[in-house]
Amino acid sequence: MMSRYLSRRLAKTLLSAAIMLLLALSTAQVLSPPSVTVHAASPAFDHVVTILMENNGYCDVMTTCGGSGTYMTSLAHSYSVVKETGYTGVSHPSEGNYVALIGGDTFGFTGDCGYCPGRTNAPNLIDRIEASGRTWQAWAEDASGSATCSFQPPRGTDHFAFPTFTDNLTPARCSHFLTTTSSGDAEFIYALNSASPANYIWLTPNDSDNCHDTSIPTCDAYVAALVPQILNSNLFKSQKTALFIVYDEGNGSPPSDWLYATWAGPVVKTGYVGSGSYSHYSYLSTLETVWGLPSLTSNDAGAPAMTEFFGACTSGCSSGTLSSSFTASSSSPQSGESVTFTGSASGGSAPYTYSWDFGDGSNGAGQTVMHAYSTSGSYTASLTVTDAIGASSGSSKLLTVAGPTSPSNQPAGQGTCVLCQLTSSLGTNLWLVVAGGLFALMASMSVLYLRVRNRLKDARTMKRNSR
């Protein structure tokens, strides 16, 4: 009786173990925690281009509330714009706003003095940019004395505040004061297409192009001609770059002098209207936040940064030349055999599109595709990758396709492995379930065997006792 009890106990244990193993195997993939990839934080942009316009409020520009800036409205709707009451100037007239944008304060310079260099020893944005190891250029249309400390824009320092700060008046820094010819700004555009554009780039248009002496349709036409060249430059195609266009002052009284301010470029959200409230000090705060620069004054230190306008980078995020390559699961497949092609790309401006030419008159699209060649021969498979701004890169591989192998010409011992083909066509999870099922079947057979053996023993015992 004791042996019969032990046998039954053993069989039940084996059966329970089989069931537990089956459950464990079949749920292993479901219960596995997802992998997590942690990416290091990176700045929203590495380069910024700033253009200052003149003397118009938000609704003078935006056609949505009565303005006549058709292109600037379209640009704002395509990328990001502050809300109607979202961005204010800090002073009247112009000079104080320009000083505040790069100095964090007006320093009382609110009278439009004309050309008044070296008015303050206060630190300014250029100090912070150079200390961080970044480069800069400050452009003004039709200025004289380019790249010297005699640099004079048409409006002096009223619309170009960099010489207002004494430490910017050294030969080294004055070499960054550059002139560009209105209205095409060929020199400025050339710099954006150079091999090493500056991290910080400023442009002051002349008083016709910036709307100081003209109406919105005139300067809107100027912006409409210039901005597409900016956005299609090498700088915007290959680097994380943002364009900021803002008016210096409008028709209201600070802090309610509501201005048109828009961000554009590959790192900027599209079709976005901001919800925050900003001022010219927020311009400094944004640069300080994104680039990790120390603040200049309590004004920019306390101003909200305009980081809401920068989203996940969808294009123009990778530096360097676009390149492509791909792998094929077999370079010498048999006819009718599916080949998996997997493409990859780097550089250029993400996202990428993948186009395939398999060399037999068939095409495909997508990063990973499958294709089977119907007849034997040599084929050149080609991949063309196109990035977000239209740049393309190609690569190709030669594949030699053999005819189907018949049983008559197969070497001995190398017949078709049906089980191998079945194994390759089934998923890992299914095989885990099959393995668990086989184990459970073996355990059940063990239980049946033990039961039959015990019953035979009982029958023999009863037969002996009956004699």
**Domain residues of the chain, as ranges?**
47-309, 318-405
Q: Does the fold of domain 318-405 match that of domain 47-309? A: no
Is pLDDT above 80 for 299? yes
Check residue 127 and give its pLDDT: 98
Provide the token pair at 105.
Answer: 């304060």
Q: Which residue has the higher pLDDT, 436 or 308?
A: 308
Is pLDDT above 80 for 186? yes
* Distance (Å, whole) CA 410 – CA 310: 62
| Maximum alpha-carbon separation in the chain | 134
* Distance (Å, whole) CA 449 – CA 386: 67
47-309: CATH superfamily: Alkaline Phosphatase, subunit A (3.40.720.10)
Return all residues near 199 (Cβ < 8 A) that are at least 6 apart.
46, 47, 48, 129, 134, 135, 136
8 A C-beta contact, residue 186 and residue 226: no
8 A C-beta contact, residue 316 and residue 266: yes
DSSP code, position 388 = T
Is pLDDT above 60 for 344? yes
Is pLDDT above 90 for 458? no
Is pLDDT above 50 for 395? yes
8 A C-beta contact, residue 317 and residue 347: no
- Look-up: residue for tokens 């499958």? 370
Taking only Cα atoms into account, the Rg of the chain, rounded to an integer number of angstroms, comes to 36
Is pLDDT above 50 for 317? no
Q: What are phi and psi of 446, to 5 degrees?
A: -65, -40
Mean predicted confidence (pLDDT) in 124-151? 98
8 A C-beta contact, residue 139 and residue 200: no
Exposed / middle / buried, residue 445 (Cβ in 10 Å: 0-12, 13-18, 19+): exposed
User: Judging by DSSP bridges, how do beta strands 368-372 and 338-346 pair with one another?
Assistant: antiparallel
Residue 363 belongs to what H/E stretch?
Answer: strand 363-365
| DSSP per-residue codes, 82-150 | --TTSEE---SSHHHHHHHHHHSS-TT--S--SS----B----HHHHHHHTT--EEEEEET-BSTTSTT
pLDDT, one tens digit per residue, over 189-218 is 999 999 999 999 999 999 999 999 999 999
What is the CATH code for 318-405? 2.60.40.10
Lowest mean pLDDT segment, chosen from 226-230, 327-331, 421-425: 421-425
When the pLDDT of each residue in the chain is averaged and rounded to a whole number, the result is 85
Check residue 443 and give its pLDDT: 66
The structure's pTM equals 0.61
